[in-house]
Structure 1
């Protein structure tokens, strides 16, 4: 089943019929409905005590007069903190649509415990024919609202105190227009839980293939239980706004909140998750540190979980310094793992005495629910070396004192400001064009002469350099053996250069150029193999190394497969290149 439809879940236990240590009840959300409406039937069972053993599954009432659109079940096992006994709770919920009008009896639900049969009380509901009560074309919004539900699903029902639980809120309806009418979603208010949104982005609308119901996720929230024991999460609420507002309420859910393990450190701060703490480094403070001058000391709490500034470790005040209330800077976001980020507490510290001053924070410890253990972070501290103004002055070098004195004198001396006058050129309305053209012609002639002389000199120098290089590079060949050695040297193969180039082509995903370059590499390997062994490289491998020959054949087959494949696999080409390095490198041996 793709979706879970709840309208009422655990609130039903308040009206349960009691049989000793076994409780069972059944209830619908309405006692009067129509043939077009959907009703929610909730069956709740609670079995208390270690000696109470359920011997049969829950036997459900007869649903022949209803269409069962959807159903779901939920089970919780908790320890009652008052009675100190185990309590097994089971809730079954069904979405039903009446097939006929009239008074319909919903029978008893049965369960067998310790050889005794327990049952819920049967009851009747009144179903009216909607065609007789309201014409189809004038059905009012109230009737439509009966087919719109809010459903909450928790990702976990058993957590530690202050450990986050993710809740998914969905709207379920038959009419797609109702989704846009759902407004003003409100989170539950309760003193024993804290609810914060993770995402309020609506998902795509999905349809259940069996019931035909439509559903859409309208919000994902995170819940922090503040107390241990069974905790009920009240209903989320919303409104259908269309010519008025009709209130919707979701199902209620239960969380079994476990007590934190014994042995918590004395400085445990009720943090549950994973955290670390940091403090300003002494080297980052302005030096020298003078008494009675304020400093900015930062205490930073980093982590994920129930991260908050409420129990954050504070700087401990002493007689050595004055400390002022911090300014908090929060960089937080809500995720499924809890509140993630960091909190910075900026303290203003004023040293009051000269000498070493130790600034310490309060101790901190937290509980890690994944590892199920406590971690003590202890305290953070830094040691400052505070000095008086006279000590700071005496510690300065002579050059520093001279520079400071010079700067002080320059600041106090009034430097005269020289007056300047703007030189205005008299306007010349005439212009001697003959002089201008004559100067331009002279400059052009001189430039041409310089260019011709320089060009001739450079040509002579270049010819001389080329001649010298040709003489240096011309080999001196005197025998047939030297001639063959020269030919072999000209056919040298640089495998490293080829492999580096092929790797770059793969990184840039230039697969067409990769195949071309690989073919060039094979050709050069064959050329060197012909010079060295007298036949192509594949033939040489087949005669000398059968294992490498098999790898070479496999490389060529895989390369051709990828070359003509409609979708080229870059990872496969990476593997081919690695294998090729081993095969082609053997030619150097």
Structure 2
């Protein structure tokens, strides 16, 4: 009798212990339509602080469904009546059925305190199923488009790859599918991978031949369930053209984790940021220079919001020109995006050009990465420091270039002989410059000798009065003066033809020509001359024109309207100066 009592007590203890763990698996309903989503709910309840869940939920075979979403939550409370710790874990799974009929859902397993618990299997009934392929025509030569997305659970702004496949019982119809239009929608960004047709697979769905038409990346830009619209195409024949549309696909877009840095915007992937000076000349105060901000890596590179160059009282920054070089990668679009800025230092000395802070989310490691600010330190020289730093050879080169530019015309382009600045010394350039100077000197001597001989055989003519110095200077200026209207017409042609680099080169030649008429070597000296002889207003207009020309010259985006206004200002000012 005593042994029977002990056995009964042990049995009751085991029953009580077993009742402390409750595991259930339920569906929201037993019968579904073809467009319905099957929602499964898994509930694990642990009554007692000594119970430990050792494994996660082991799901049954769900190969007859597409898993389009999942989530879980854990709640812990203390029962005030029994002072017992109750832990409840609830998981939800959203399924899309692949076929109709009665589908069996197996058991969910979990291990608690070295003991395995499982749920009871049950059946769900799918009344009908919407075929994932779209029907083009109800004939024996049906043509279907099917969009397939395997990874249907991604983060916001993380890509998923879609494959467009065509099916037809008649292989000849596969060659007639053309004009593929990828889906467009506000909550997704689509980038093509390729439109190369694959080899025909003779044993596709339902033993129908199939062929891959295109692959593309889908970047969802909002969280939640996002429906990717169907891809459209046309089936062309000799008699008619039929439009076909693929199926739509729902994807579960997970919201990005909390704790994002304040500088995070929408960059998802893995990126690097750098900033560098793209100008070949030394930085000079109040002169424009090109600064490039480069973002490289892989992710939503074409659609992300780029960091900008921060404003500063030390420099003036203009809107950038954006260029991108991206190709499809394994985890998004990879390559680099360049933002080309025009920056004008406002003072000489050390200038720090800083970018905005930049952060991105790494979906592989599921963490935010803050790259902070990038800084480019430049030493901006004054104009006098630039002149003092030139070597003797560079000064000789500049003198030769000025001489060639002075005698240049729009017909004879002697600027092709201009000496370009080099980083190292070249003897051949120096010898070429000396040979040009000697040749010009010999030509001058020959001309003077010929002029002298001609004077000897000429009849004696009474000499005219020499006149004043001002009259003599005016006569010399008239002799040197050329018709600047030729330059105006040439500049107009260059503007209309879009030859902007040649436009600014010819404008420099015009400025040199006008300055040479008044025997002024530099723009600063010419400004002083204009202020003295033409008035302060003309000198100020000339100074503003020079600054405007520099800004338009180094502006990465040339505007035809802006150059039209600039040319009008040039014609008015130089016509007034050259009177």
TM (norm. structure 2) is: 0.51
**Residue 150, structure 1, aligned to residue 145, structure 2:** yes
* Equivalent residue, structure 1, for 2:519: none
Moved more, 214-223 or 203-212: 203-212
Change (3 A) 1:174 1:415: same
* Equivalent residue, structure 1, for 2:251: 255
Change (3 A) 1:294 1:151: same
**Residue 266, structure 1, aligned to residue 262, structure 2:** yes
Secondary structure of residue in 2 paired with 1:206: coil
User: Structure 1 residue 241: deviation in Å?
Assistant: 2.6
* Equivalent residue, structure 1, for 2:322: 328
- Segments of structure 1 that go 5 or more residues without pairing to the other structure are 1-18, 28-41, 59-70, 95-105, 125-140, 421-589
C-alpha contact (below 8 Å) 2:299/2:333 kept by paired residues? yes
C-alpha contact (below 8 Å) 2:141/2:170 kept by paired residues? no
Which whole-Å CA distance do the structure 2 matches of 1:328 and 1:55 have between them? 49
User: Structure 1 residue 347: deviation in Å?
Assistant: 0.8
Change (3 A) 1:209 1:143: closer
Change (3 A) 1:400 1:225: same
Which whole-Å CA distance do the structure 2 matches of 1:76 and 1:409 have between them? 73
**Residue 343, structure 1, aligned to residue 352, structure 2:** no
* Equivalent residue, structure 1, for 2:179: 184
Which whole-Å CA distance do the structure 2 matches of 1:151 and 1:200 have between them? 15
**Residue 275, structure 1, aligned to residue 271, structure 2:** yes
- Segments of structure 2 that go 5 or more residues without pairing to the other structure are 1-25, 46-56, 74-88, 108-118, 130-135, 407-436, 448-579
* Equivalent residue, structure 2, for 1:196: 191
User: Structure 1 residue 149: deviation in Å?
Assistant: 1.7
Which whole-Å CA distance do the structure 2 matches of 1:206 and 1:342 have between them? 37
Which whole-Å CA distance do the structure 1 matches of 2:286 and 2:296 have between them? 31
Tell me the alpha carbon deviations over residues 507-563 of structure 1, each in whole angstroms, 9 at most, x when there is no partner.
Answer: xxxxxxxxxxxxxxxxxxxxxxxxxxxxxxxxxxxxxxxxxxxxxxxxxxxxxxxxx
User: Structure 1 residue 221: deviation in Å?
Assistant: 0.8
* Equivalent residue, structure 2, for 1:76: 68
Secondary structure of residue in 1 paired with 2:243: strand
Tell me the alpha carbon deviations over residues 438-478 of structure 1, each in whole angstroms, 9 at most, x when there is no partner.
Answer: xxxxxxxxxxxxxxxxxxxxxxxxxxxxxxxxxxxxxxxxx
* Equivalent residue, structure 2, for 1:45: 38
Tell me the alpha carbon deviations over residues 231-250 of structure 1, each in whole angstroms, 9 at most, x when there is no partner.
Answer: 22222222323333333232
User: Structure 1 residue 373: deviation in Å?
Assistant: 2.0
Secondary structure of residue in 1 paired with 2:138: helix
**Residue 376, structure 1, aligned to residue 376, structure 2:** no
* Equivalent residue, structure 2, for 1:88: 93
User: Structure 1 residue 76: deviation in Å?
Assistant: 3.0
User: Structure 1 residue 324: deviation in Å?
Assistant: 1.0
Secondary structure of residue in 2 paired with 1:337: coil
Tell me the alpha carbon deviations over residues 3-45 of structure 1, each in whole angstroms, 9 at most, x when there is no partner.
Answer: xxxxxxxxxxxxxxxx983364234xxxxxxxxxxxxxx7852
* Equivalent residue, structure 1, for 2:550: none
1:337-486 correspondence runs (5 A): 337-393=331-387, 399=392, 403=396, 407=400, 417=443
* Equivalent residue, structure 2, for 1:217: 212
Give the greater-gyration-radius structure (CA): 1
Moved more, 297-306 or 404-413: 404-413
Which whole-Å CA distance do the structure 1 matches of 2:307 and 2:203 have between them? 51
Tell me the alpha carbon deviations over residues 178-204 of structure 1, each in whole angstroms, 9 at most, x when there is no partner.
Answer: 102222322223222111210100000
The counterpart of 1:226, out of the listed 221, 228, 244, is 221
Secondary structure of residue in 2 paired with 1:319: coil
Change (3 A) 1:408 1:230: closer
Tell me the alpha carbon deviations over residues 467-519 of structure 1, each in whole angstroms, 9 at most, x when there is no partner.
Answer: xxxxxxxxxxxxxxxxxxxxxxxxxxxxxxxxxxxxxxxxxxxxxxxxxxxxx
User: Structure 1 residue 223: deviation in Å?
Assistant: 0.7
Secondary structure of residue in 2 paired with 1:144: coil
User: Structure 1 residue 151: deviation in Å?
Assistant: 1.6
The counterpart of 1:206, out of the listed 183, 197, 201, is 201
**Residue 238, structure 1, aligned to residue 243, structure 2:** no
Kindly tell me the number of residue pairs found equivalent between the two proteins. Answer: 345
Which whole-Å CA distance do the structure 1 matches of 2:140 and 2:236 have between them? 10
User: Structure 1 residue 270: deviation in Å?
Assistant: 1.6
Change (3 A) 1:20 1:261: closer
Which whole-Å CA distance do the structure 2 matches of 1:210 and 1:352 have between them? 69
User: Structure 1 residue 222: deviation in Å?
Assistant: 0.5
1:117-156 correspondence runs (5 A): 120=125, 142-144=137-139, 147-156=142-151
User: Structure 1 residue 116: deviation in Å?
Assistant: 10
Structure 1 segments of 4+ aligned residues over 3 angstroms from their partners: 48-58, 84-87, 106-124, 284-288, 390-397, 399-420
Which whole-Å CA distance do the structure 1 matches of 2:205 and 2:304 have between them? 49
* Equivalent residue, structure 1, for 2:291: 297
Change (3 A) 1:381 1:23: farther
Secondary structure of residue in 1 paired with 2:356: coil
TM (norm. structure 1) is: 0.51
Change (3 A) 1:409 1:198: closer
C-alpha contact (below 8 Å) 1:22/1:47 kept by paired residues? no
